[in-house]
Copies of this chain bind each other. A is one copy, B any other.
Amino acid sequence: MTELGERGETLLKTLIELYITEGQPVGSRTLARHTDLNLSPATIRNVMSDLEDLGLIQSPHTSAGRIPTQQGYRLFVDSLLTIKPLNSEAVENIQSRLTTESDPQALLASVSEVLSKVTHFAGLILIPGRENALLRQIEFLKLSDDRVLTIMITDDGRVQNRVIPTDRPYSESELTQAANYFNGTYVGSSLASVRRALLGEMKTDSDTMHEIMKTAVTVAGKFFDEEENDRDDVVLTGEENLLNIPDLCQIDTLQKLFDAFKTKQDLLDLLDRSMRVNGISIFIGEESGYRALDDVSVVTAPYETDGSIVGTLGVIGPTRMDYEEVIPIVDITARLLSGALSGRHLTESDSSG
């Protein structure tokens, strides 16, 4: 790519900043006024023409000013932006939220909420799957002759319950014994390994198994079979904020967006991809590759527990968002959350219920 020169960079930077705050195409005169280069509009025009040739800016029509292209934004966030000092009120807001909430699931959801409140865009967070969590306890409760309530607790303090339809009635004591057997065998193992073990058990010739074992394997097997069991999930908050944004006033754009919000699959994919990157990811407009997100930008940052990345959080806003403000907010939120999450595991002791 052709070299830009310091002057070109300065002008591109101020042009984008102006466009972000004003929302109007910016012309050569305006740009001249808002820079301390002491250049005439005519000179600015020449530079702008170069910038346009490079594909960094464009004009909506002949006699309008210029607006940044996707590539312009990209260059801007990659090398031009000066991160704004963090709004301390926002930091306190985030911090206080993180310290008051002790239930881990509610904590993660509230992080999404605080992101949307602070940025006035939509906040989102990837809630990690539980394949690596350790089983702390499982319990089978008889609901009726053909339904068993299964409750599983993992060492990260999460509780999951599901009603399992059964082929035959189980007695309560049978279920209790099955749970005891199951707990005795698998407590302390990761859910992934429990799942593997169950698959193996189910293939085993069932004649060699004790009746109680069979019960445990059957019921727990169905429990673990449900896909969603340990799937990653996305919590999205503040979607309604996106309705105020003048850039997104087209109903069908919003429609696409909210449809994607409902299914969440695209969001999940995107967050999942960005989890493998170390540090902030920014997807500008069509960069994300999902149609529904063509007209927005997504800023994400991974968060960790005890040093390893477990999930991602972020913000969805208009492509014309104030990156210099949003980026540090997302960044600090991820850091604060990582801090709050560390040392949150259950005691490692036995788990007799």
Contact = CB atoms under 8 A, between A and B. Distances in A.
Interface of A: 102-104, 136-137, 139, 141-145, 147, 149, 151, 153, 157, 159, 161-163, 165, 172, 176, 238-240, 243-244, 249, 251, 254-255, 258-259, 261-262, 344, 346-347, 349-353
A297 to B, nearest CB: 20
Nearest to A245: B251
Contacts of A102: 147, 163, 165
Oligomeric state, in copies: 2
B143 A157 contact: yes
Nearest to A343: B144
A351 B141 CA distance: 8
B159 A149 contact: yes
Nearest to A344: B144
Contacts of A172: 349-350, 352
Contacts of A157: 143, 147, 149, 163
Contacts of A143: 157, 346-347
Contacts of A163: 102-104, 157
A258 B261 CA distance: 14
Contacts of A239: 258
8 contacts: A102-B147, A102-B165, A142-B349, A143-B347, A145-B347, A147-B157, A172-B352, A353-B353
